[in-house]
Chain A
Amino acid sequence: MPAVTAPSRAPRSASVMPDTPGWARWANDHRKWLFAAPAMAFVAALIIFPLAWTVYLSLTDSSGSVRAESEFIGLRNYLDVLTDTDRFWPAVGRTAAFTGVALFFEVVLGMAIALLLWRPFRGEKWVRVAILLPLVATPVAVGMMWRLIFDPNIGLANQALGWIGIGPQPWLAGQHTALPTTIFIDIWQWTPMVVLILLAGLTSLSDEPQEAAMIDGASAWQRFRHVTLPLLMPTVIVAVLLRGIDALKTFDILYATKGRGGGSFNEVETLNVYAYGLSFDYNEYGLSSTVLILFFLLIIALMWVLTARKKEAGR
């Protein structure tokens, strides 16, 4: 990079830089966009066109092949999808249930574990290692791992239930137990993420409000409820936001444990799995684009609500 080495030979005093080549000076003056534009152009190129095309496809009856002739049908896809109580609304329900239940347990457990880890103790390092491992493990592999553990015939889960005298459960194989089981897997893998975020938040809190509350005779629960929690609230909302976006879009563990369409009864078919199936199993591009646009709007709306809550809590 000659542009960078040249100025270093310039006289020490000058911000004028007389022996700097003109183009290097130009680069220096325009560094703001010179630095930012390539990354933005990359993302924009890969997002804006696909997004615009998804909007367009959602207004057509494109199916079979995207190259095939398709007709502009206005908002009919939206009407079809929004009145589809067979696949769409159940998928919305599952997405909401999956995200809501998983997030609830992840935040409650994550908070409890973070509080346990808050004050230093011996062996802390090893606990932190254990917390990190599920988090970095490949989600598809995690799905497969639990598939073995939850196998109704040979899995560890039913063996363990047998030891305490409870009969075998169908777990992932059951029509009504599959979704709760995948939620459990999500909780296992991602509670550690919430722990790390909340722990970072707790560590950044100052001790003084705690000590003041202690002098005032507040119990441990009162100190948590009225001192720690309100101060930590912005961090809690960040955790919910980051985890919530990913939970809504969960795909890997659902595909790994139940395969296409979320199982033979679509028992774990969330919006993301449904849209994937419409696109790549059924080639219904018009419908799939409609589902995706609605899904995207849902994510944006939730983010907006949470960001507003965060501003409120930060005050």
Chain B
Amino acid sequence: MKPGRGFKIFRVVALAVVVLSLLLPLIWMVAASFKTNVDIYDSSKALVFTPTLDNYDTVLQQANYVQFIVNSLWVAFAATVLSLLLGVPAAYSMSRFNMRKSALVVLMARVIPGVSLLVPWYYVFSNLRMVGGFTVLILSHMFVSLPLIVYIMMGYFDGLPEELEEAALVDGLTHIGAFRRITLPLSIPGIATAGILSFIFSWNNFMFALVLSGASTKTLPVAIFDFVGYASIDWGGLMAATTVVTLPIMIIALFVQKYIVSGLTAGATKG
């Protein structure tokens, strides 16, 4: 079906409006991060201004942000790797043996309000003197990553023909051997999808780190609040901080767009 000419013009205009309204706020944020606070307050300097790196100097040098970047990277990385180790075999089993009820237990973690877990977690982990440490942060972020990984990988394994494994069994591999040598290598795109999304969701997570992190283990989304005072806000510093948090993830997203889209839409079109 060929769309008509009128529709084509309408589509260009409509999509231009969509793209502009999605990108303009982000551009505004990045622009403000290169402005002095005086320029941010001056509406005549909205578009034309002398860029400065002062805000980034504040964020990276004085506000200890390098530490928080490392914290965020470490927590997201560890939570993702551990969740993949637990989640990929689990998803395989749940897909091949059709364990839909067991899968529901894991997916429940996606539905339950995080606050209802935080009070008991805080109590237990503070008794174990673990609150403020990386272990409890990583465990709590795994709680976000694992259901996501199981959900995406179950969909992936559902779509992987079982015949390939059966052929491997005929060739003398055990079931576990067939999983490791045949299924896993074929699942690398799925694992990449699940891993990337898990990393992003963990990087973006705020509530668990808000309660469970300490001054030295703070992740970036919590550290942003350092720039919001009771009386005033350091807008330039705040926008530099938000840019430091969001820009890396957006750049990653540009390179792995295909994977993110397939992960976010996993399972959406099945009956």
CB distance from A232 to the nearest CB of B (A): 9
CB distance from B208 to the nearest CB of A (A): 11
CB distance from A177 to the nearest CB of B (A): 18
Instruction: For chain B, residues 134 to 161, give those with C-beta under 8 angstroms from any C-beta of chain A.
Output: 139, 142-143, 146-147, 150
Query: Contacts A35-B90, A141-B224: A272 and B113 contacting too (C-beta < 8 A)?
Result: yes
CB distance from B242 to the nearest CB of A (A): 4
CB distance from A150 to the nearest CB of B (A): 10
Main secondary structure of the interface of A (DSSP, over half): helix
Q: Which of B49-57, B100-108, B185-193 lies at the interface with chain A? A: B100-108
Contact of A8 among B32, B115, B173 (CB under 8 A): B173
Q: Are A10 and B172 in contact (CB under 8 A)?
A: yes
Q: Are A132 and B257 in contact (CB under 8 A)?
A: yes
Q: Are A138 and B246 in contact (CB under 8 A)?
A: yes
Q: Are B239 and A148 in contact (CB under 8 A)?
A: yes
Task: Say whether A200 faces chain B, with CB atoms less than 8 Å apart.
Answer: yes
Task: Say whether A82 faces chain B, with CB atoms less than 8 Å apart.
Answer: no
A296 proximity list for chain B (CB < 8 A): 112-113, 116
B61 proximity list for chain A (CB < 8 A): none
A293 proximity list for chain B (CB < 8 A): 116
- Write out, one digit per residue, whether chain A residues 9-41 have a CB within 8 A of any chain B CB (1) or not (0): 011111101001000110110011111101110
Query: Contacts A46-B143, A134-B22: A252 and B207 contacting too (C-beta < 8 A)?
Result: yes
Q: Are B261 and A245 in contact (CB under 8 A)?
A: no
Q: Are A43 and B99 in contact (CB under 8 A)?
A: no
A292 proximity list for chain B (CB < 8 A): 113, 115-116
Q: Are A285 and B119 in contact (CB under 8 A)?
A: yes
A47 to B121, CA, bound (A): 10
Instruction: For chain A, residues 282 to 309, give those with C-beta under 8 angstroms from any C-beta of chain B.
Output: 285, 288-289, 292-293, 295-296, 299-300, 303
B250 proximity list for chain A (CB < 8 A): 133, 136-137
Contact of B171 among A12, A25, A285 (CB under 8 A): A12
Query: Contacts A35-B92, A44-B105, A314-B271: A20 and B115 contacting too (C-beta < 8 A)?
Result: no
A133 to B115, CA, bound (A): 28
Query: Contacts A116-B11, A116-B15: A136 and B249 contacting too (C-beta < 8 A)?
Result: yes
CB distance from B191 to the nearest CB of A (A): 15
Nearest residue (CB) in A for B265 is: A200
Q: Are B239 and A46 in contact (CB under 8 A)?
A: no
Query: Contacts A131-B22, A133-B250: A279 and B118 contacting too (C-beta < 8 A)?
Result: yes
B11 proximity list for chain A (CB < 8 A): 116, 121
Nearest residue (CB) in B for A112 is: B14
Q: Which of A84-92, A100-108, A189-197 lies at the interface with chain B? A: A189-197
A252 proximity list for chain B (CB < 8 A): 206-207, 221
- Write out, one digit per residue, whether chain A residues 118-150 have a CB within 8 A of any chain B CB (1) or not (0): 010100001111111111111111101111110
Q: Are A139 and B206 in contact (CB under 8 A)?
A: yes
* A–B Cβ pairs within 8 angstroms, 13 of them: A8-B173, A20-B174, A35-B92, A36-B90, A116-B14, A130-B19, A133-B22, A138-B246, A145-B242, A192-B22, A193-B264, A279-B119, A299-B113
Closest 3 CB pairs of A and B: A39-B90, A50-B120, A35-B93
